[in-house]
Amino acid sequence: MKDQRPTLAVVARTAGVSRASASRAINGAYGVSETVRRRVRTVAAELGYEANPVARALATGRGGADRRERIEILIVDADPAAMSAKPFYGRVLTGAMRALGDLDIALEVRRVSEAPRDEALQDDTDPPLGRLLINVPGAAGAAYARRGRVVALGRSAPSVSFVAPDNDSGGFQAGVHLVTSGRRHVGAVFGPATPCARERRTGFLRGMAGAAQSVTAVDGDFTHARAYAATRELLAREPRLDAVFAACDVTAMGVLQALREAGRRVAADVAVVGFDGSALAEAADLSSVYVPAEDEAASAVHRLLDPARPAPPRLPTTLTVRGSS
């Protein structure tokens, strides 16, 4: 005789929620409101639904008692050394763990060289409670948003909630600092074609608008190697170079190395200002725009846990002047 017991999918459809939300409501997991939890459980009782832990374990590869909710941090970065070379990601993890506190929710970190295509997401049969997106382009961000709860660090697609620092203001502060300190032959190593890098560029150029000369600029990619090569290019194009804006602190490290090898004294001959305010900046006595990355990540995780939480304003950025400028 065919088993006519209602499935979780039937419960979800009847309750008007996704299958993942129905599962969380029934199992008492995080990520659904109390109203949804009560509605799903009422529907399950009326339909006579009973969870089958053996079937769930076979389907997911994780047994009931061992199953933990998780938040995935998805990073798109082509640099294979990104996780060790870029302090920003470690600061994001620190903020995310701070937000989770003692909650029994796992963090899962995944770095990919490029964002998955929409069709590749069709096999996403065991979605996490939510995803924190970093450097994920708009189209891919929108695809993830259609399949579950997501928050991006920095702007993504219009349909994707995001948390971001005031990059434009930070870039503006760096530009004004170089202008008011008397630098007149200014170069810049900007970042890749991401929203945060474009905002830093726009703010910096706005801050430089009071200077008499134009900025000699080279595009970078937030890596040490590219910044080193870009600085050598700047020196060749503008021998009188007396200042460089680096769009992140990792970029600034490449700038500093190239200047030293060229025999240019930092600050005395060429001022350097970075962006991020990471431990690299403090160790290198580098002037840098501080970005509250830990607060940014914590705010994003809070929004994943409670989508009804109001979107935060842009987080403030502050230039810290040190010996490099």
Give me the pLDDT at residue 120, please: 56
- pTM across the whole model: 0.79
Q: 245-299, pLDDT tens digit by residue?
A: 999 999 999 999 999 999 999 999 999 999 999 999 999 999 999 999 999 999 9
Q: Where are the domains of the chain?
A: 8-60, 69-164+294-314, 167-292
Strands 271-276 and 186-190: unpaired
Strands 318-320 and 287-290: antiparallel
| Least confident stretch, 101-105, 173-177, 297-301 | 101-105
Q: What whole-number distance in Å separates Cα of residue 190 and Cα of residue 25?
A: 46
Q: What is the dihedral of CA 107, 199, 291, 101, to 10 degrees?
A: -20
Q: What whole-number distance in Å separates Cα of residue 137 and Cα of residue 143?
A: 10
Give me the pLDDT at residue 121, please: 63
Q: 126-141, pLDDT tens digit by residue?
A: 788 899 999 999 989 9
CATH number given to 167-292: 3.40.50.2300
User: Hey, what are 106's tokens?
Assistant: 């796992």
Asked, colleague to colleague, whether 69-164+294-314 and 167-292 share their fold, the answer is yes
More confident residue, 236 or 51: 236
What is the homologous superfamily of the domain 8-60 according to CATH? lambda repressor-like DNA-binding domains (1.10.260.40)
Q: Give 141's contacts (C-beta < 8 A, 6+ positions apart).
A: 133, 150, 152, 156, 157, 159, 160
Q: What is the mean pLDDT of the chain?
A: 89
Q: 41-94, pLDDT tens digit by residue?
A: 899 888 888 765 444 444 444 444 445 789 999 999 999 999 999 999 999 999
| Least confident stretch, 4-13, 28-37, 173-182, 211-220 | 28-37
Give me the pLDDT at residue 119, please: 55
Is residue 123 very low, low, confident or very high in pLDDT (cuts 50, 70, 90)?
low
Cβ-contact 250, 85 below 8 angstroms: yes
What is the homologous superfamily of the domain 69-164+294-314 according to CATH? Response regulator (3.40.50.2300)
Tally the C-alpha atoms within 13 A of residue 274's C-alpha that lie toward its C-beta.
32
